[in-house]
Amino acid sequence: DFKTLERLADDFYARFELHGNSSDLSLAITHYRSAFTVASSSPVLSNDTRSKVLGNLANVLSIRFQRQGDIIDLSQSIECHVAALELRPAGHPGRASTLANYATALLMRYGKLGVNADIELAIEHLQAALESLPPRDPGRLMPLMNYASALFSRFQSTGCISDLNRAISQYHATADTCPPESKATACYNLANALLSRFKIVDDHVDLESSIKYSCVALHALKEGHPDHPLIITCLATGLIRRFELCGDIKDLESSIKNFRISLELRPPGNPTRFSALGDLADTLIIRYNLQLGLPDLELAIDHYYDALRVLPLKHRDEGMLLNNLGNALFLRLTRLGNLNDLEEAIEKHRLALDHYTAESERLVFTLEALATGYDVRFERLGDPADIHSAIHYFNEALLHAPSDHPHYIAILNGITSSLGTRFRVYGEITDLDKAISHSREVIELIHPTHADRASTLHTIAGALLDRFDERGDEFDLHQAYLYCSASLYIRQSHDSERASCELLLSRILRTRFLPWHETKDLEPVLHHLRCAKELYPTDHSLLLEVYAELSTVHFLKYLFTHQPSELKDASGYHELSLAFTGGTSIPAFRASMQWVRYAEMYRHSSGVDAYRTSIRLLDRLALEMRSPELRQCLVARNAVTLAVDAASCALRFQKPAEAIELLEQGRELVWGQLARVMTMLDDLRATGEQGIALANEFERLNRELESVPRISSVTSKSCHSLLKDREAVIQQIRRKREFANFLLQPLFCQLQRAASDGPVIVVNASQYSCDAIIILGTGHPIHVPFPGMSLRDVSLMGSRFNELIRDRDAMPDAKTREDRLARLLSELWDQVVYPIVQQLISRTPRGARIWWCPTGKFTSIPLHAAGPYCTSEPRLSHVYVSSYTSTLSALVRSREVSGPPQHRRTPLTSSISGFLKGRRNSHRPFSPSPSPSPSPSPSPSLSSQRVLPATGNVIVIGHPSAQENDSEFDFIRNRIPPSVPFKRVEGENVSMVPVVSALKEASWIHFACPALHDPAQPFRTTFEMRDGDLMVYDIARIRPQTDFAFVSASQNMKTDVTSADELMSLTVSLQYVGFKSVIGTLWAVDEEVMRRVLSVFYKNALSKAMPLSQIDAARALNEALRMTEETIPLSQQIAFVHVGA
């Protein structure tokens, strides 16, 4: 019967409370349900009885939910409370308790599911329960505590401070009136709420009260109280907040002690252990930042990892723990320098980001941390993607951070630094504009007495000076002076950053110096530099910049006073800037370029040496950069202009041999970096195990020297030791035959070997002059000036050629276009080529071969096609057989692979300038150096080496579409003698592996597959394959030793050729990466034109029975074009060129 079922249910519940056995709890639930079923059908039992059973059933279901977490139990508990409430209408004496219990269940479900309707309904029911109970009723205590907790929960969700204040008021009431057994919980709730209000309002009284009530709660605890971990955590948190406020180390130590106790109270398996691990780790990090005790940092990192391992799946604290672990790993990186920590930190911040929504208050901190990680990784490894990522995440952080965010200024400073870095790498002026804008915002936000104000003023002054250098706006220079002066005024005499400010101010004042000023105006510049020199320690990396600036200023004084002592001082400081034991080459490069500008401004002969040093330093800078993209960007921005201006300077001081050397150094650097083929060290590694060891050791020493400024413990003495070790490695490398000139500048007598088979004409266009230099096999080079031409004239002529030849739609009438082209080629003859031919005609017989080596803007002009088309006089092609070369060194290499197979050696990417200190001897022999003895046969271990058959073979790479191949294959096969081995790569075989194999074995190779040419980055030009694109860069990695290549492939241009500083054609690119001789077109020609020229060329070239390696492809092409010139339009005839030996 009902009584029996109710009694059994009560007994099982009592036994559960005594022993905690879950089966007793389940039996109690079963019997309460049975009792309610009986009560519901009994006409005798009252609603009070039914509501009482429902209440008991609801309560035990809630208890089982708390133990086992099954949400169904909680939902059924709430349904029972609702049913019980209906049985106890308003005015019923038991309604208040039912409302309170119902509200408690709703609070539980809110904590589990976070549904706002539950918390709102719980507060409403608790208010109603409290209103129905007398003020002194002992039954008010639990509803009052739950009401306060409900208000506190809603505050945590909405941030409404009025809810928090009301909760604290109610907690005060319960703490003051509760019985001893509830004292600990009541005081803990009050302490926790007060701590929350302190974090918002920052009222010290709240913090002290929180600590006080936490201590009261601890004293009131009975052994084994379930709230013990919560109470001690609250106390520890209050103590750490007080430490941060007041700095009392005792609070920090007590906090760590209490967090450790909290962790002990949550043994492995406890569902909240992760929280204790995270809290203790956070506090250890605080102590580490104070005392720098590495064990604290290591233990904190371990605790973060442990917390993440035991964290429940998809827990809301995962993002915070990941972020904190990332921050700790970053701290260890700065301490120990292990890059693995940096990689792991970035990864943790990225994972943390996935856990935050746009509204999350921790999102900004994570974005900032991630941006900082990428910024540091860029500084360490030089991957361009990292600096772009850093700026992206700093921007994201700014989007989500209001101006009053505690990290807003730090984020602005971070993005300013990253934008400045990217500007220095890529030269994009908009980055500098943004950096200056952000710095101005920081200045407006921070107080005049803020500790960071001086550094911010310094930052914006430096950025404004950089922008003045780019745009020449005097207002920027004036603002830079004001900001830097203000920064210097704020800094104390002992401030470690004062030296940097003195240095920057000296640069600004030196920049403000104008030609009509007096030399006394330079004294303040020297004063600030001397101050900076005295403030910096002797091993500080920025002494590089001080020495470089002192060199510039003394040289400037020399230009005005002509006192030898000033030039001596300038040279001395310049040598110091080059020989200093730490830091990068950027300051010395910048100072050398400044010397160049002043030398050009005052027309001083020292400009030649300044140019030489600048190119050498640019080479050193490129070597320092581990990222190919950054090396490429650096060189592209500087090398072409630097090289052509350097040659012009040498010519203006009657030094044509030095002009050749300087031009070659700069242009080899351009081509070598754009190719990204095999750097000098790659070449070294290819020689075998000893080469690998030497290359690795050289890189290791460079990395250690590069890191010197960042490691305070490394002294000048140890830097000197590293430099000695590196010099020893360089000497070992130079003892290897092919590397005798490793990091040395090429001499004219070496470059003159390029003219061993005929004159080489270097044509140069600079902002200062336009000239040609004829290099003969012996004797002095011949300077041919073009006094009537300027760089603008050359650029305009290139644009006109481009318009007439490539942009056919702009002038659809073919005859008009051909007539204008003939007049333009005649103009080219009169202004450039004829003066050169006048010098050649008495030295070089008609019909001989000549080589063109155009530079800069001259690369966009078809020099080989010049002629007096308006008269009956012979054109250049009727007088000489023209070829081209990318650089003199490339032509020398082409000749080196042109001998018998047994004497060939692997082509090496030439090295230009090195780490020389001191000036070059200006007296150089002009006769060619003796021919080198044959190189020994290369090691068979090198994959790039092979032995050609005596006669050679021809391989044709066809179109990827099989149906387009047959006619072209047959066409070429029919024009090649049957005795010459012929192979066709067609259809499905036009893919990476078969083509690469063909490139390794061919003597002659014919490319008939389509190509997409990129003049700005020619080594990214691609040949279309069935399974992807074969880049010229990929061909370079193969190191082909093919005698000849014909490119009949149709070419499409990837970029605008008129905007490039130097146009690099596909044929020239193939020669540079290893093909001895190449024929192709500078632009697309009609298919029928290609067939005519091919037919005559192959017939002429292969008509004689000789090995393919001895055939003169250039002469065969010249003859083919002359034989077909009457039937081919001029614009297509002149498209054909030969490049190489």
**Region of residue 1084 (left: phi > 0; alpha: psi -120 to 50; beta: else):** beta
Confidence at residue 809, expressed as pLDDT on a 0 to 100 scale: 58
CA distance 404 to 246: 23
Q: Which burial class, exposed, middle or buried, applies to 557 when counting CB atoms under 10 A from its CB (0-12, 13-18, 19+)?
A: buried
Q: 677 versus 638: which is more confidently predicted?
A: 638
CA distance 220 to 227: 11
Q: 324 versus 536: which is more confidently predicted?
A: 324
Strands, E, within 754-830: which ranges?
A: 760-765, 770-775, 782-785
> And the tokens for 583?
């830091």
Instruction: Answer for the pair 375, 387: CB distance below 8 angstroms, yes or no.
Output: yes
Confidence at residue 946, expressed as pLDDT on a 0 to 100 scale: 32
| 794-811: average pLDDT | 80
- Going by pLDDT thresholds of 50, 70 and 90, the confidence category of residue 634 is confident
C-alpha dihedral sign at 886, 889, 892, 894: negative
Tell me what the pLDDT averaged over the chain comes to: 84
- Going by pLDDT thresholds of 50, 70 and 90, the confidence category of residue 673 is low
| 369-376: average pLDDT | 94
CA distance 839 to 850: 13
Strand partners, 1005: 955, 1045
CATH 3.40.50.1460 in the chain, residue ranges? 954-1140
Does the pTM surpass 0.85? The reply is no
Write out pLDDT tens, residues 541-554: 677 788 888 988 89
Listed residue (68, 42, 73, 71) closest to 57, CA to CA: 73
What kind of architecture, by CATH, is found in domain 760-884?
Answer: 2-Layer Sandwich (3.30)
Q: What's the gap between Cα 615 and its chain centre?
A: 25
Determine the 3-state secondary structure of 403 from DSSP. Answer: coil
The amino acid sitting at 699 is E
Confidence at residue 942, expressed as pLDDT on a 0 to 100 scale: 28
Determine the 3-state secondary structure of 332 from DSSP. Answer: helix
Write out pLDDT tens, residues 180-199: 888 899 999 999 999 999 98
| 1003-1014: average pLDDT | 84
CA distance 574 to 563: 17
- Going by pLDDT thresholds of 50, 70 and 90, the confidence category of residue 85 is confident
CA distance 635 to 624: 12
* Candidate from 22-36, 265-279, 665-679 with smallest mean pLDDT: 665-679
> And the tokens for 880?
């000489």
- Going by pLDDT thresholds of 50, 70 and 90, the confidence category of residue 1104 is low
* Candidate from 314-328, 549-563, 1024-1038 with smallest mean pLDDT: 1024-1038
Write out pLDDT tens, residues 132-168: 888 778 778 888 888 999 999 889 888 899 999 999 9
Confidence at residue 232, expressed as pLDDT on a 0 to 100 scale: 95
Listed residue (421, 329, 335) closest to 383, CA to CA: 421
CA distance 538 to 180: 70
CATH 3.30.420 in the chain, residue ranges? 760-884
CA distance 17 to 26: 12
pLDDT at 471 exceeding the cut of 50? yes
| 463-471: average pLDDT | 91
pLDDT at 379 exceeding the cut of 60? yes
**At which residue do the structure tokens 């614009």 appear?**
1131
| 613-639: average pLDDT | 73
| 246-264: average pLDDT | 95
* Candidate from 678-692, 779-793, 868-882, 950-964 with smallest mean pLDDT: 950-964
Confidence at residue 628, expressed as pLDDT on a 0 to 100 scale: 60
> And the tokens for 730?
């360089």
- Going by pLDDT thresholds of 50, 70 and 90, the confidence category of residue 111 is confident
Confidence at residue 181, expressed as pLDDT on a 0 to 100 scale: 83
For 631, residues 6+ apart whose C-beta sits below 8 A from its C-beta are 622, 625, 673, 676
**CATH no. of 954-1140:** 3.40.50.1460
Instruction: Answer for the pair 404, 361: CB distance below 8 angstroms, yes or no.
Output: no
Determine the 3-state secondary structure of 241 from DSSP. Answer: helix
| 47-58: average pLDDT | 90
CA distance 255 to 972: 87
> And the tokens for 485?
């002066």
Q: 969 versus 1095: which is more confidently predicted?
A: 1095
pLDDT at 458 exceeding the cut of 70? yes
Q: 452 versus 482: which is more confidently predicted?
A: 482
Listed residue (352, 311, 363) closest to 328, CA to CA: 352
Confidence at residue 933, expressed as pLDDT on a 0 to 100 scale: 33
Confidence at residue 936, expressed as pLDDT on a 0 to 100 scale: 34
Cα Rg of the chain, angstroms:
41
| 663-687: average pLDDT | 70
**At which residue do the structure tokens 């308006």 appear?**
870
pLDDT at 947 exceeding the cut of 50? no
The number of beta carbons lying within 10 Å of the beta carbon of residue 166 is: 18
Q: 139 versus 770: which is more confidently predicted?
A: 770
**Region of residue 363 (left: phi > 0; alpha: psi -120 to 50; beta: else):** alpha
pLDDT at 559 exceeding the cut of 50? yes
| 786-791: average pLDDT | 93
Q: 879 versus 538: which is more confidently predicted?
A: 879
The amino acid sitting at 239 is L
pLDDT at 925 exceeding the cut of 50? no
Confidence at residue 597, expressed as pLDDT on a 0 to 100 scale: 84
The number of residues in the chain equals: 1141
- Going by pLDDT thresholds of 50, 70 and 90, the confidence category of residue 903 is very low
For 616, residues 6+ apart whose C-beta sits below 8 A from its C-beta are 665, 745, 912, 913, 914, 915, 916
Confidence at residue 935, expressed as pLDDT on a 0 to 100 scale: 34
pLDDT at 980 exceeding the cut of 50? yes
Write out pLDDT tens, residues 573-590: 877 876 654 455 677 787
- β 770-775/760-765 pair status: antiparallel
How many CA atoms are closer than 13 Å to the CA of 363, on its beta-carbon side? 17
